[in-house]
Chain A
Amino acid sequence: MPTITIAEADVELNDDGFFEVPEQWTEEMVPTLALNEGIQEVTEDHWTVIRFMRKEYFEKGTGPTVRVLGKTSGVTVKELYRLFPKGPGKVAARMAGIPKPRGCI
């Protein structure tokens, strides 16, 4: 369980780069987290997804899968894969400071 410093704050990540403590996340960390995912510019659409991920996580105890994101976040599945080519659910979860979403579909 490595502890790293992002935006001048210490955060605990698991081996796959997901936050162990979602409360340690701040908005200031997002540009750095994005660069770690190979995303150079965080657009308003990225933010829409990130905020939705956190909202769902705190309401339901797990982040949404790509299908749920596509149905309810206001961003289509095609667009989600353009924004997060390496997997919208998991990359957006790392950027949103929440654990990996659990769901098969």
Chain B
Amino acid sequence: MDLSNEKISIVISQGSLEGIYPGLIMANGARAEGMEANLFFTFFGLDAIHRKRQEHIKVATVGNPALHVPTWAGGLPGVSSAMTHVMEHKMEKLEIPSIPEFVELISDTGAGLYACKASVDLFGLEMDDFIEGVDDVITVGEFYEMAFGGHIVFT
């Protein structure tokens, strides 16, 4: 199946480990199929491309029933870090790249990386706060123009 005329725009809106990886995997997979792919980071999803924060993304251990950790325990100091460590260890064994490495890989595939202007303004951020591969800070209107004619996935 030739998918090289297809286009996908993926919105990453969450800043937890499990909130970020699916969008990254989908963008990387789209490029591997020859599709055009753009990633749009909004709200807490911006942490994935934040120079100082992208190395410290954590698993959400509170209010996450599928993790099978009681909410009261998930809130104890160090639990989120420990769970993240376990998850990262498992991922490393499966050769799943860390978030910084994955974002760089996706940029190298030719996918576009964009930050949401409303969120950038809300958090008082600037282009300098983001890693090198980020192409631009864009408005929602510019996002729709870019996404026009393709699929949009919100994560």
Contact = CB atoms under 8 A, between A and B. Distances in A.
Contacts of A86: 2, 4, 34
A85 to B, nearest CB: 7
B96 interface: yes
Given A67-B97, A104-B25, A105-B25, A90 B108 contact: no
B95 to A, nearest CB: 8
A87 B58 CA distance: 31
Contacts of B95: 67-68, 105
B4 to A, nearest CB: 4
B31 interface: yes
Interface residues of B, number: 19
A88 interface: yes
B79 interface: no
A77 interface: yes
Contact of A105 (B1, B97, B110): B97
Contact of A16 (B1, B34, B110): B1
Contact of B108 (A16, A68, A70, A104): A70
A87 B97 contact: no
Nearest to A78: B108
A77 B34 contact: no
B108 A77 contact: yes
Interface of A: 16, 65-68, 70, 76-78, 81, 85-91, 104-105
